[in-house]
Amino acid sequence: MIHVSQLVKYYNGLKALDNVSFHVMEGEIFGLLGPNGAGKTTLVGILTTEVKPTSGTARIKGIDVVNDPLAVKHLIGVVPQHRSLDRKLNGRENMLVMARAYGVKNPKSRVEELLALVGLTDRADNGIRQYSGGMLQKLLVARALIHDPEIIFLDEPSLGLDPQARIAIWDEILRFKDEGKTMILTTHYMEEADRLCDRVAIMNQGKIVKEGTPEKLKNEGIMRSVVTLELKRISDDVVEEIAEFEEVEEVQVIEKGFTELHVYTHNAEKNIPQIIKIIQRHGLKVYRLRSQEPSLEDVFINLTGRSLT
């Protein structure tokens, strides 16, 4: 559906995109994650025909974004981050302006259909100055769908929204997925990427440094889990034995009146039974055990050295 090959973008000598290649399949939600300045906006700008690449190609359904931007525009809908709505108009009027700009057939009924879809019918007569952040975002989503695009770009779709409004937008995005839409979304929220995206690309300094399903990124072994065990006491030889496992990176002993053992491992599933065996062999008992898997945020920090939040 989307094919990006060796994209490079320079801004006056500054390399904003450095040989970026990837593809997105029909019906997928593809996430772009990266710290500020990673090149996400530039990349989306090229795909949405707003920015010209220095070299490389990007094609949407086989159409080159540089050669035929108009054809591409009819295939895509863009939910921008900046709330680019006309504040003098009400919700319905904002939609109608867009419908006319796209030459949509039966603009009035199409607008009503979309207002109903995002649950804004009751408020469509209100000036958008009276809209909450969540309502503005819904209106932007509805507006991006005016010409029934096959591909939707969402730039930070839930930025600045309260948790309830965020979940409402997520539901909407998942509904579009059910309808077979293809989506590219940029986000700062790891939970958003984890919940919504089929695949994510982590970008840093103009490059894709890692790409895959959220599951794959978390499980790939680049990340370690923490296994926490509570015991009455522990002996040094037990700690040494555990530390000798190939996958174990570090063992910490914390005294809290009881003993807490933190085992940092690249393969918790394999090590947990082994650790328990060692402890039992020494006549000791585990009272509690929990294992914390790495989050997508951990993976991100590991790859970029920066936190997103």
Question: Which residues sit at the interface with ligand ADP, rule CB under 6 A?
Answer: 11, 14, 16, 34, 36-42
- 47 touches 186 (CB < 8 A): no
Phi–psi pair at 130, nearest 5 degrees: -90, 0
Nearer to ligand ADP, 40 or 266 (CB): 40
CB of 226 to ligand ADP, least distance (A): 30
- 57 touches 7 (CB < 8 A): yes
CB of 46 to ligand ADP, least distance (A): 10
CB of 49 to ligand ADP, least distance (A): 15
Nearer to ligand ADP, 42 or 182 (CB): 42
Nearer to ligand ADP, 43 or 248 (CB): 43
Residue of 219, 166, 165, 223 whose CA lies nearest to 196: 166
Nearer to ligand ADP, 159 or 286 (CB): 159
CB of 212 to ligand ADP, least distance (A): 19
CB of 301 to ligand ADP, least distance (A): 16
Provide DSSP, 38-88.
Answer: SSHHHHHHHHTTSS--SEEEEEETTEETTT-HHHHHHHEEEE-SS----TT
Report CA torsion sign: 298, 301, 307, 309. negative
Nearer to ligand ADP, 111 or 184 (CB): 184
Length of the chain: 309
CB of 291 to ligand ADP, least distance (A): 33
Any long-range contacts for 129-133 (C-beta under 8 Å, 24+ apart)?
A: 129/87, 131/91, 132/165, 133/160, 133/161, 133/162, 133/165
> ∠ CA 59-60-61 to the nearest 5 degrees?
115
Nearer to ligand ADP, 45 or 149 (CB): 45
Nearer to ligand ADP, 55 or 252 (CB): 55
Residue of 155, 84, 179 whose CA lies nearest to 171: 179
Q: Kindly state the tokens that stand for 253.
A: 């002993």
Please state, in angstroms and rounded to a whole number, the distance separating the CA atoms of residues 109 and 253.
Answer: 67
CB of 295 to ligand ADP, least distance (A): 21
